[in-house]
Structure 1
Amino acid sequence: PNTTLARNAYLDQLVIESFDVRAWVTVSQDCSTQKIIHDLLITSMKEMNTNIFGQSDEEKMYKSLKGRRYLIVMDDMWNTKAWDDVRGIFPDDDNGNVAFYVDSSSELHEMCFMDEDESWNLLRQKVFGNQDCPSELEDIGKKIAKGCGGLPLAIVVIGGLLRTLSKTQASWRQIAENVNSIVATQDGEFEEVLSLSYTHLPHHLRPCFLYMGGFPEDYEIHVSKLIRLWVAEGYLETNVCERTEEMAEEYFVDLVKRSLVLATSWKSNGKIKTCSMHDLMRDLCVRKSHEAKFLLYTVDRDPLKVVSQSINNKGRSLVIDNSDLNSLVKKYGSNIRTIICVRSIANSLGPLGNLRFLRVLDMVKTRSLPSLPPELFDELVLLRYLALDYAVSILTAISNLSNLQSLIILSCSYLPLNIWKMPQLRHLVSSSVDVVKNPLETSYVLENLQTLFGLSNFICT
């Protein structure tokens, strides 16, 4: 990815030797101009190992760079306003200074909007790759590119949409009209341009896309985990059990091709290992999730201060970020189908027993978590995904979870023999855990098992 490419260049020894001062800052969506300048100043002063005196951070920053060769990188730039606000502190001594930003959805860019030719070239590359654009689509394509206002992310996202549509004048004109209409009536509202990608998203991909809004900003998600979650939620339209994960991976690749999801690292076999979302794309995702009452995202310990909309009567997902799990479960009741704890606190798991429709329980990032009550294994009969990363004893009653597909236990001393009596189990992941020896030497058949990781003291035949 481009951030990785820029970081590798930034840390290259030849680059280090070529500049007197280097500074790298990450510009989040709500980052103030003062914070950007302050972070730049702190980084540059560490680089020079000296103090700079002045009345303000702006003056200090200017003095630290004056007369020196400098390299400034502003990562994850989502709006060029940030550059307009800080450009005055960079002295122009014409001695080989470099300042650029990294747009994680596109390429490395100098601090400016793209002109019409650059916009069209990027859009054409996104849609056709190395192939030529049909001549009958070129004029329409240029209008679409112009309507994106020179913003690389908008161009890339619209390009991802166009590559999925039929290459006809009618379909392209419709997109051109939509883009131009937004620019004309909304003063170029960037989010409305991005929302076209959701409007044209096939219905089978929408829940997969909305699900991404449950993860925090700049959160890196393992694709294998994401696929298991989608499977557990029942988002895949297939009756062939063996193809479920394969189809989920196809859905994921489709979202990447549409530039709705960003690949952040790759496996040795070339497949995507981790992913994330651009800040603005995540904002769109969260907004659409709220409109559909698809998920509830809470970032406050007091459930009365939750800023997201309530879950509808059918119940959806509860994503907990630095909140009290027990209070939220009591507040939002038995309709919850999914609980993903990004960061949370739980003093008791008793209330979970009331969640009869719970399918996903991911408590990997939960603090102060007690042992699992045995009765949970009798009550959560619809549970398909269970993930824990704290020291816990798994009881033999776990076999009562007859619908469980994924079991991730990252801190466990042993697993009971009954683990092999779970016919729907597809993924069993642990960390150096022993399986209780079978005194009767009975054989068990897990026809759906696909992943077996971190186990010892057992035999497969």
Structure 2
Amino acid sequence: MASILDYLVKSCAKKLEAIITDEAVLILGVQEDLKQMQRTMTQIQCFLDDAEQRRTRESAVNNWLSELRGDMYYADDIVDLARSEGGKLLLERDPSSSSRKATSTCSGLPFLNCISPIQKRHKIGVQIRDFNAQLDKISKLGERFLKLENMQPKPQALTVKHVRTSHLVEPNLVGKETLHACKSLVELVLAHKGKKPYKVGIVGTGGIGKTTLAQKVYNDRELKGTFSNQAWICVSQEYSEISLLKEVLRNFGVPHEQDETVGELSSKLAVAITYKSFFIVLDDVWQPAVWTNLLRTPLHAAARGVILVTTRHDTVAHAIGVEDVHRVELMSADIGWELLWKSMNIDEERDVENLRNIGVEIVHKCGGLPLAITVTASVLATKEKSEREWRKVAKRSAWSRGNLPTELRGALYLSYDDLPLHLKQCFLYLASYPEDFRMSRDDLIRFWVAEGYVEEHEEQLQEDTAEEYYYELIHRNLLQPDHLYADHSWCKMHDLLRQLAQHISGEESFCGDPQSLGPKTLSKLRHVSIVTNKDYAALPNMDKEMIRARTLLIFSTKRSSVENTIFRRLSCIRVLDLTNSSI
């Protein structure tokens, strides 16, 4: 949280510095109050490095950080309000009067017309002064229990710019063990292609390479043309039956209507597959019902077919009726080391040998998980290829960071911790998307710019800078590009990395049905994604002053209608995406 706060404080202080002399602020007469806010923020910045080291051990630090986070967002809202209301007053004033005159007089305006601008200035001034008092209080509290004498600035990670993905290392790089497993599974599929249907499973823990292996099988040349229809379906924990059936139909090239029911879609699938053959991959299955209750009946109409299931749980594979299971094991030290250096595109044999000992040590810290190894390789790629630099990475405290679920510790958190601050914000923003959702590069670029995450550079558009951010996240293996698009303009996020983003975001982001949230929880959210299969998308009833969301995304399976009061209740909105809804 401290790193996020560091970004928020710096961003807000920078914005304050830019607008303090702005004409829109001068007309409000709050220049000195904003300067005081800026000074206090500069002081608070000194506390954050120490807070990062102590926040998992001391509840007082955690509470202080949580309160500060809310205050920083509120400060940013106040700055935007001052700029907005000041701008309105500039438009309303007599255009012939000077800026200085307008800040102190309503000369030339009828008395009743003068009251409104005075009230606006007074109201905003009171808000800023009240907030300054709160900010001063939290600053003194931090000064009291955080150590300032041993603070050292945290070194920033190198930013590696990659604006063309042709130079990226192949993310599905695999070793001999995976190639052998792929060959065995393809042989099983071909041997049972005449059955109705044959079910085969790939089982293993998260991040171990189940999806990578399934992709190799799915794209194997020997299977091309063997079946009438092929489909790759990401199931996820909370799948929508309607969306899943539509995805199968889309893969099979069968058109469907937007508002069709599960029954209608199921019947359409049965007709489309009658007397034909199919090969379907059901990736990341958590519940057997996706087969037993949803797909088994319509697919029974096919003459023959094969279903390849990937899951973390033997019980799921057994309940689906899988006949053969391939269990993916953890990588050995040698195979893991090979994956590490090949992922970094190290081609000098001397470097491979010189770095082998520390490399194997790092592979052990990754627990033999391919996902952990590849994201760690991306961290190492930003450092010098020397044992000294790699040992620094191996000794980083991020490996043993507490207060995280076991599966998110170590390499996964390290990959986040190594990001520059601006990329951390962009990464955490992805927690707003549903699991296995295919994200658009162009949407992310626009959203990041609107949220203020993108740095400004002379002679370069912010959108171009945001595009560099996008490709750097791909290069760091934190985003998985869709290889159907040569420019990698669409991507997904591994479910473990998404869980990491959600965990770190905490009370800041929510993706689901907000009707399940209480007012207190909703008031803390800054990014809200409504995921629904209902006819109506809405936020819970509460005072609009309590809704501080900056992002509202709607993901609907049936183009849900949006409540007509929702726009008046989103006073802090910066990103609004109603693409999947009906207005």
Given the two structures, how large is their TM-score scaled by the length of structure 2? 0.46
How far 1:33 moved relative to its partner? 6.3
Q: 2:378 aligns with which of 157, 160, 180?
A: 160
Residue aligning to 1:122 = 339
Question: Are 1:7 and 2:242 an aligned pair?
Answer: no
Partner of 2:550: 337
Task: Output aligned runs, 1:345-364, within 5 Å.
Answer: 345-346=560-561, 348-364=563-579
Q: How does 1:60-459 map to 2 (within 5 A)?
A: 73-75=308-310, 79=312, 81-82=313-314, 86=318, 111-132=328-349, 133-177=351-395, 182=400, 189-193=406-410, 194-240=412-458, 242-267=460-485, 270-290=486-506, 293-304=507-518, 309-312=521-524, 316-322=526-532, 324-327=537-540, 330=543, 333-343=546-556, 345-346=560-561, 348-367=563-582, 369=583
The residue aligned with 2:197 is none
Aligned-residue offset at 1:48: 5.3
Greater share of strand residues, 1 or 2?
1
> Displacement, 1:28?
2.7
Q: Confirm or deny: 8 A CA contact 2:515 2:539 kept in the other structure.
A: no
Separation in structure 2 between the aligned mates of residue 126 and residue 328 of structure 1, nearest angstrom:
50
By relative contact order (CA 8 Å, sep 6+), the higher-ranking structure is: 2
Amino acid at match of 2:497: M
Contact 1:210 1:294 in 2 (8 A): no
User: Judging changes above 3 Å, is the alpha-carbon distance between structure 1 residues 88 and 324 closer, same or farther for their aligned structure 2 residues?
Assistant: closer
Provide the aligned C-alpha RMSD in A. Answer: 4.1
Structure 1 residues not aligned, in runs of 5+: 50-69, 93-98, 101-109, 370-461
Unaligned runs of 5+ in 2: 1-171, 173-211, 229-276
Equivalent residues of 1:148, 1:179 under 8 A apart? no
- Distance change >3 Å, CA 271–CA 199, structure 1 → 2: same
* Cα deviations by residue, 1:301-337 (Å, 9 ceiling, x for unpaired): 3443x9x95454xx62222222742436756735222
Q: 2:481·2:490 contact (CA, 8 Å) conserved in 1?
A: yes
The change in CA–CA distance for 1:116 and 1:332 in structure 2 (over 3 A counts) is farther
Structure 1 residues 119 and 44: CA distance shift in structure 2, 3 A: farther
Question: Could you say which residue in structure 2 is the equivalent of 1:57?
Answer: none
Distance 2:451 2:421 in 1: 15
Structure 2 counterpart of 1:73, one-letter code: L
Which of the pair is proportionally richer in helix?
2
Structure 1 residue 229, shift from structure 2 partner: 1.1
Match of 2:455, SS?
coil
Distance 2:493 2:392 in 1: 27
- Once residues 466 and 456 of structure 2 are traced to their aligned partners in structure 1, the CA distance between those partners, rounded to angstroms, is 10
Distance 1:203 1:113 in 2: 32
> Equivalents in 2 of 1:10, 1:299: separation in Å?
42
TM-superposed CA distance for 1:84, in Å, is 10
Whole-angstrom CA distance in 1 between matches of 2:318 and 2:397: 30
| CA 1:177–1:82: 2 relative to 1, 3 Å | farther
Could you tell me how far apart the structure 2 residues matched to 1:181 and 1:250 are? 27
CA change 1:275–1:328 in 2 (3 A) is farther
Say if 1:326 and 1:89 are closer, same or farther in 2 by CA, change over 3 A. Answer: closer
User: What residue in structure 2 maps to residue 26 of structure 1?
Assistant: 282
CA contact (8 A) 2:454 2:462 kept: yes
On the 8 A contact 1:260/1:277 being kept in 2, the answer is yes
Q: 1:329 to 1:137 in 2, by over 3 A?
A: farther
TM-score normalised by the chain length of structure 1? 0.57
Evaluate the alpha carbon distance shift between residue 37 and residue 119 of structure 1 in structure 2; reply closer, same or farther with a 3 A threshold: farther
Which entry has the higher C-alpha Rg, 1 or 2? Answer: 2
Query: How many percent of aligned residue pairs carry the same amino acid?
Result: 25
Taking the aligned partners of 2:316 and 2:550, their CA distance within structure 1 comes to 46
Q: Aligned-pair distance for 1:364?
A: 1.3
Distance 1:44 1:298 in 2: 30
Note closer, same or farther for the CA distance 1:247–1:122 as it changes in structure 2 (3 Å cut): same
3-state SS of 2:468 partner: helix
Q: Structure 2 vs 1, CA of residues 82 and 22 (structure 1 numbering), >3 Å: closer, same or farther?
A: farther
Question: Following TM superposition, by how much is the alpha carbon of 1:188 offset from its aligned partner in structure 2, in angstroms?
Answer: 10
Relative to structure 1, the CA distance from residue 118 to residue 71 in structure 2 (aligned partners, 3 Å threshold; closer, same or farther) is farther
The SS at the match of 1:339 is: strand
The answer as to whether partners of 1:339 and 1:361 remain within 8 angstroms in 2 is yes
* Deviation by residue 1:285-310 (Cα, 9 ceiling, x = unmatched): 111111xx432334253443x9x954
Q: Give the SS at the match of 1:125.
A: helix
Measured after TM superposition, the shift of residue 189 of structure 1 is: 3.0
Query: SS of 1:318's equivalent?
Result: strand
The structural deviation recorded for 1:9 is 3.4
- Are the aligned partners of 1:154 and 1:190 in contact in 2 as well (CA < 8 Å)? no
For each residue in 1:125-158, what CA deviation from the matched residue of structure 2 results, as whole angstroms up to 9, or x when unmatched?
1123544434332101111112222222111122
For 1:113, the aligned partner's letter is L
Contact 2:430 2:498 in 1 (8 A): yes
Cα offset, 1:172, TM superposition: 1.8
Q: How many equivalent residue pairs?
A: 318
Q: Is the 8 A contact 2:554 2:580 kept in 1?
A: yes
- Distance verdict in 2 for CA 1:332–1:124, change over 3 Å: farther
Contact 1:296 1:309 in 2 (8 A): no
CA gap of 1:149–1:41, structure 2 versus 1, over 3 A, is: farther
